A and B are shown apart, each in its own frame.
Chain A
Amino acid sequence: MTKTTTSKMTSPKIKIAGVLLVLFALGLPMIWPWLKTPMVVATSFGIAALGVSILIRSGQLSFGHAMFSCAAGYAVAFTARAMPELDSAVLILLGTAFGAVMGMVIGLFVVRYRAIFFGMLNLALSMVLFSILGKFYSLTGGTDGIRLARPTFFGVRMERDGFETTLLVVAVVLAVALAWGVQRYMMSIAGQALTAVKTNETRLEYVGLSANRALWIGYVISAALCGLSGAMFALMQGLVTPEMGYWVRSGEIVFISILGGVGHPVGAFLGALVFEFVKLYSAALFTGAWQMVLGFVLIGLVFFVPTGLSGLLFRKEPK
Chain B
Amino acid sequence: MNQELFLLAMLDGLSYAALLFLVALGMTLVFGVMRILNMAHGSMYAFGGYFAATLGMWAVAAKFSPAWSFVWLLVAALVVGAVMGAVMEIFLLRRIYHKEQILQLLVTFAAFMIFEDLQRLIWGSQPYFVSNIVNYLGVAEVLGITYTRYQLMVLPGVALVVFFGLRHFLKSSSTGRQIVAVAHNREVAMAMGIDARRICLLTFVVGSMLGALGGALASPTTSLVPGIGADMIVLSFAVVATAGLGQIEGTLITAILIGLTRSFAVYLQPESEVLVPYLIMVLVLLFRPQGLFSVAQARRV
Q: What is the interface of chain A, defined by CB distance below 8 A to chain B?
A: 56, 59-61, 63, 109, 112-113, 115-117, 119-121, 123-125, 127-128, 131-132, 134-136, 246-248, 251, 254, 258, 288-292, 294-296, 298-299, 302-303, 306
Is A128 within 8 A of B279, CB to CB?
Answer: yes
| Chain A CB within 8 A of B257 CB | no
Comparing B52-60, B102-110, B152-160, the segment that makes contact with chain A is B102-110
Q: A119 and B105: CB pair below 8 A?
A: yes
**B163: CB under 8 A from chain A?**
no
Given contacts A123-B234, A128-B279, A248-B230, A288 and B103 within 8 Å (CB-CB): no
- Interface presence of B100 (CB below 8 A): yes
A302 touches B117 (CB 8 A): no
Residues on B with beta carbons closer than 8 Å to the beta carbon of A248: 230
Query: Please, which residue of chain B has its CB at the minimum distance from the CB of A126?
Result: B234
Q: Kindly identify which residue among B92, B105, B230, B273 contacts A61, using a CB–CB cutoff of 8 Å.
A: B105
Q: Which of A61, A63, A116, A135 contacts B274 (CB 8 A)?
A: A135
Please list the 8 inter-chain residue pairs (A to B) with the smallest Cβ-Cβ separation, ordered nearest first.
A295-B113, A295-B114, A292-B117, A298-B110, A131-B274, A61-B102, A115-B101, A295-B110
CA distance A251 to B275 in the complex (A): 21
Residue of B nearest to A109 (CB): B286
B285 within 8 A of A: yes
Q: In the complex, what residue of chain A is closest to B270 when comparing beta carbons? A: A135
Residue B271 CB within 8 A of the other chain: yes
Listed A/B pairs (5) with beta-carbon separation below 8 Å = A117-B285, A246-B230, A254-B106, A291-B116, A298-B113
Residues of B within 8 A of A288 (CB): 117, 120-121
Could you say which residues of chain B place their CB within 8 Å of the CB of A136?
A: 271
Instruction: Please name the residue on chain A nearest to B291 by beta carbon.
Output: A117
Q: In whole angstroms, how far apart are the Cα atoms of A306 and B278 in the complex?
A: 33
Inter-subunit contact B282/A124 (CB<8 Å): yes
Residues 86-111 of B contacting A (Cβ, < 8 Å): 92, 95-96, 99-103, 105-107, 109-111
- A294/B113 contact (C-beta < 8 A), A59-B102, A115-B101, A116-B101 known: yes
CB <8 Å contact, B109 and A251: yes
Contacts of B46 on A, CB cut-off 8 Å?
none
Cβ distance A39 to chain B, nearest Cβ, rounded Å? 24
- In the bound assembly, the distance between CA atoms of A298 and B37 in angstroms comes to 17
Distance in angstroms between the alpha carbons of A134 and B227 in the assembled complex: 15
User: Which B residues fall within an 8 A CB radius of A?
Assistant: 37, 39, 92, 95-96, 99-103, 105-107, 109-114, 116-118, 120-121, 230, 234, 237-238, 241, 245, 271-275, 278-279, 281-282, 285-286, 289
**B95:A112 contact, CB within 8 angstroms:** no
With beta carbons under 8 angstroms apart, the residue of A128, A134, A302 that contacts B103 is A302
**Chain A nearest CB: distance from B112 CB in Å?**
8
Chain A residues positioned under 8 Å from B106 (CB to CB):
61, 254, 258, 298, 302
Among the listed B114, B275, B285, which residue makes an inter-chain contact with A132, where contact means beta carbons less than 8 Å apart? Answer: B275
9 further A-B contacts with Cβ under 8 Å, apart from A63-B105, A120-B241, A124-B234, are: A117-B285, A117-B289, A124-B278, A124-B281, A254-B109, A290-B117, A292-B113, A295-B110, A302-B106
Question: A295 to chain B: which residues have CB within 8 Å?
Answer: 110-114, 117
Please judge, given known A-B contacts A128-B278, A128-B279, whether A116 and B105 are in contact too, CB under 8 Å. Answer: yes
Given contacts A119-B105, A124-B281, A125-B282, are A292 and B289 in contact (CB under 8 A)? no
Q: Are B237 and A124 in contact (CB under 8 A)?
A: yes
CA–CA, A295 and B39, complex, Å: 13
Q: Which residues of B contact A121 (CB under 8 A)?
A: 241, 282, 285
With a 10 A CB-CB cut-off, give which of B96, B100, B113, B275 has the most chain A CB atoms: B113
CB-nearest residue of chain B to A61 = B102
- Min Cβ gap B272→A in Å is 8
Q: Knowing A124-B281, A292-B114, A298-B109 touch, does A247 contact B101 (C-beta < 8 A)?
A: no
Kindly list chain A residues whose C-beta atoms are within 8 Å of the C-beta of B120.
288-289
> Are B100 and A59 closer than 8 Å at their CB atoms?
yes
CA distance A281 to B281 in the complex (A): 40
* Residues in B whose Cβ lies below 8 Å from that of A134: 274
Report the nearest B residue to A246, measured CB to CB. Answer: B230
Question: Are B116 and A127 interface neighbours, CB within 8 A?
Answer: no
Q: Are the C-beta atoms of A247 and B234 separated by less than 8 Å?
A: yes
A303 to B103 alpha-carbon distance, docked (Å): 9
| Nearest CB of chain A from residue B79's CB, rounded to whole Å | 21
| Distance, CA A295 to CA B116, complexed state (A) | 10
Residues B101 and A135 in contact, CB atoms below 8 Å apart: no
Chain A hits for B281, CB < 8 A: 124
When A125-B278, A136-B271, A299-B107 are in contact, do A292 and B230 touch as well, CB less than 8 Å?
no
**How many Å lie between the Cα of A130 and that of B172 in the bound state?**
44
On chain A, the residues within 8 Å of B286 by CB distance are 109
Q: Which has the most chain B C-beta neighbours within 10 Å: A61, A113, A125, A288?
A: A61
Asked whether B102 lies within 8 Å of A296 as measured between CB atoms, the reply is no
Task: List A contacts of B96 (CB < 8 A).
Answer: 302
- Chain B residues whose CB sits within 8 angstroms of the CB of A115 once the complex forms: 101-102
A291 touches B278 (CB 8 A): no
Say yes or no: A128 contacts B275, CB within 8 Å. yes
Nearest-neighbour CB distance to chain A for B253, whole angstroms, equals: 19
CA distance A26 to B114 in the complex (A): 33
Task: Specify which of B101, B110, B241, B285 is in contact with A299 (CB 8 Å cutoff).
Answer: B110
Would B102 and A56 count as touching, CB distance under 8 A?
Answer: yes
